[in-house]
Structure formats: structure tokens, C-alpha cells
Structure 1
Amino acid sequence: MTSPADLPAVLSVNLGTPRQVEWRGQQVTTAIWKQPVTGPIRVEGINFVGDDQADRRVHGGADKAVYAYAVEDYDWWSAQVGSLGPGTFGENLTTAHIDLTAASIGDQWHVGTAVLEVAQPRTPCFKLGIRMGDDTFTRRFALGGRPGAYLRIVEPGLIEAGDQIRLVPASLPSISVGALASGNLTIDELIAVSADDRVPDGWRIAVDRELARR
């Protein structure tokens, strides 16, 4: 029997706004530094209230409104690089007891008074390397196969640390976050992704290009 302590839940809500940091002799604007906050925080539109992104061309927007990363994946990384706290990878929600890599695009999370929907995996940019103080970390993160999940906001509401996550699985056929991030899809999977309007346009365009090459 599953106890409440083993159910999917939010361990931490993490917010941050853009700041300038010096990296390799240049000033870079980034909002990857996120800090845990207390109390219920409203999530609406394309963000948590009090959170922001530095460059909306590649970060944020409806299909990247909320980024989640699992404490179990942090444990895996910590064994390699040392202790890492919530928000280190720039996530808004640090979660427990939910396999984000196995999550399907279209899975819905009823959490707090909000409803979120898994939208896509993360493709890390160079700013993750800045956050980790290691230019090679962006590639290491991609190769690690633990991308975390971006979620869109289906219904606005309040979320706080300790909230349980009630999962409503995506209708089939669906593609997992890990499979989409891997790029190693079968023809049948590529066709399914191309036809799935829950998958963001950028991924579907890339899939259509891959189908045209095969």
C-alpha cells in the first residue's frame, strides 16, 4: 500500500528574475538562478508570479511556462558533481516520486489548485554551464538523459511546497519526454509525434524534417 509520503509531490517551488553575471569576460543576462520560496505562489499565463526568463526567444512561453526537475535525478547528478540544492538547474518545481523522463507529453498534473500539462523536455543552453561553472556541463546534461519536463498551464492556481501531484495520464498514443529528448525515434514514433498537437510546433517541425529524410 502506497503511503502519502511516497506519492508524487512538490518538494520546492523556486523562482528567479533576470540578473547579469560575468562569464568569460562578458556580461550575460540570465534568470537560471532560482531560489526556493515559501507559501502558495500563483501560476498563471506563462509563468509563476514573481518568476521570469531573460530571453523569451528560447525560454519561457506557453509551452515552457513551468520547468520541473526531480530530486531523484538530482541524486544521480550529486553522485557525480557533489551536492546540489533545489533550483540549481533553474527549475520552478523540484519534485519527488515522479519519473519525469518517463512522463508522457500530455500528462496532466493536478497540483495545488492549478492544472499543468507536460509539454516537452528541456534542451539545455550554455547558461546551464554558467550556472554550474563548467562550459562542458551543458553537453553532460544532454548526454545524461535526465532532461526534466516543461509544463504548460491548463488552469491557473496556487502551488506550494508539499502539494501532492495527482497525475492524469495522457491519452494514447503519446510520446515520453525521454524518448523525444533522445532523438532516437522509430518511424512509427516520428509519425505519431508529427500528428500529436500536444507536442510543441518546433519539435513537430524537426520530426517532419526527419521523416522527409527517411
Structure 2
Amino acid sequence: MIPLGPIRIGAVAPIAPGVLSAIGKHPMDQPLWLGTEGFEGNSQADPRHGGPEKAVHHYDAGHYPSWRADLGDLPQLAPGGFGENLSSLGLTESGVAVGDRFRLGAALIEVSQARQPCWKLNIRFGIPDMARRVQDSARTGWYYRVIEPGMVAPGDGLVLADRCAPDWTLDRLWRVLYRDRLNRAELAAMAELAVLSEGWRALARRRLDNMAVEDWTARLKGQRGG
């Protein structure tokens, strides 16, 4: 079993004038229902940050010392700082693959994609290019879809149940998305990866069709990026 920190959930709240987010998460000390849209009581200000393919966000707590080495001892650089619902030590993007299934309490969850950081991280951390830094670092975290809903209690850990595409680690996806961005063979394989979220499969298909990389400006800089 992989031990987890507290389950964290959050409500939509202002993080800057005119900007709403549910990135601020607080730990829970009671059992929570985990359904196909996520944990009971958890919200998203932007529907693109939620839904069945992004029901649960997981971040490796082991990344925080690296961030503190990069950025200093910011108060946000502690578990929960990236708006994650789950955190653990030792489970990283280099070892986690799309389609990995885990038992979590009475629920069964499956890795659907990595996180694509957005401009609200810039506000959260007070660093104008924080979203870009997260993207470039490969320390992005990942999302789960919920295969079987169920109750999750404090102290429940992750138990690996199945791996259907172990070669498709999140690090490999990161290389396709952000480094070797027009590799036809990798994009074609990514587009056919059934356990990958449909949004990312569609992205791979668009790159193959256009042989061009999508513009990231709005996602990384948003309304504050000009």
C-alpha cells in the first residue's frame, strides 16, 4: 500500500480581483464519498479543470523540496499547494503510467492524464511564469478517473490493482507534448491509447493533421498575460 496524506477538498473562492479558483484545498478528517466527478464537497471554478477525466488530482509531495530549492521557502510550497486532492511520497511521473488502476478505500481509480498547468498558478504563487515553470519541470502531477465510486476514509492508501499501458508513463507523455512535439510515431501511438483522456488523444490527432503545435499562451498566461 502507498500511504497518502490527508484528502484535500476546496470550494470556489476569489484568488485575485475578478479571478475565481478552487485551488485552495483543506485537509479532511472524515470519510468522503468519491464519485465520478470527484470527492464530495470538492469544486472547480472552471469546468475544464474538472469532470470525469479529472475527478481527482494527485501530486507527489516529494516535489516540494525541489520547488523550495528553486523558489525559496514560499508558504504555498507544502502539500496542497498545487491544489491536489491526494499527495504521497515516492509515486512520481516517471513511474506512474496512463491506465494504472489503484484501489483507494472502496473506490477504484485510474490514471487518465497528466496535469497541464494553467495561468492561475501564476497568481497562486505570485510568480508570473509559474505555470510555465511547472510545465518545463515535468513536476505536473496527474489526474484520475473514477472506475468504481466508493467511500474513502482517512488513512486509506493506494493499492495498485492493474497496469494496462506501463510503457506510457507520464514522463513519456510529457516528452511528446513539450519536447519531441512533432514525433509522428509517438503522436500516432498517443492518439490510439484508449486509456488516455479523449482530450489528449484529440490533441495528438490535431498535431498529426496539422504538423503544428498548439498555442499555449492562453493556458499559461491567461487574461493576465497580455
Count of residues paired in the alignment: 204
Query: What's 1:74 paired with?
Result: 64
The CA distance in 2 between the partners of 1:160 and 1:98, in whole Å, is 20
Q: What is the letter of the counterpart of residue 105 of structure 1? A: V
Aligned with residue 51 of structure 1, among 34, 42, 48: 42
Tell me if 1:85 matches 2:64. no
Tell me if structure 2 keeps the 8 A contact 1:101–1:148.
Answer: no
Deviations 1:105-142 (A, max 9, x none): 10001111111100001111111111112121111111
SS at match of 1:9: coil
Query: What's 1:36 paired with?
Result: 27
Tell me if structure 1 keeps the 8 A contact 2:61–2:78.
Answer: no
Deviations 1:23-59 (A, max 9, x none): xxx3211111111111221111211001010010x21
Mark the runs of 5 or more structure 1 residues left unpaired by the alignment. 1-6
The CA distance in 2 between the partners of 1:60 and 1:134, in whole Å, is 24
Q: Give 1:66 shift.
A: 0.3
| Aligned residues with identical type, % of pairs | 33
Q: Give 1:158 shift.
A: 2.1
Query: What's 1:202 paired with?
Result: 199
The CA distance in 2 between the partners of 1:212 and 1:103, in whole Å, is 29
Tell me if 1:12 matches 2:29. no
Q: Which structure dedicates a bigger proportion of its chain to strand?
A: 1
- Runs of 4+ displaced beyond 3 Å: 185-188
Distance 1:137 1:197, change over 3 A: same
The CA distance in 1 between the partners of 2:43 and 2:94, in whole Å, is 24
The alignment yields a C-alpha RMSD, in angstroms, of 1.9
Mark the runs of 5 or more structure 2 residues left unpaired by the alignment. 212-226
Q: TM-score, normalised by structure 1?
A: 0.87
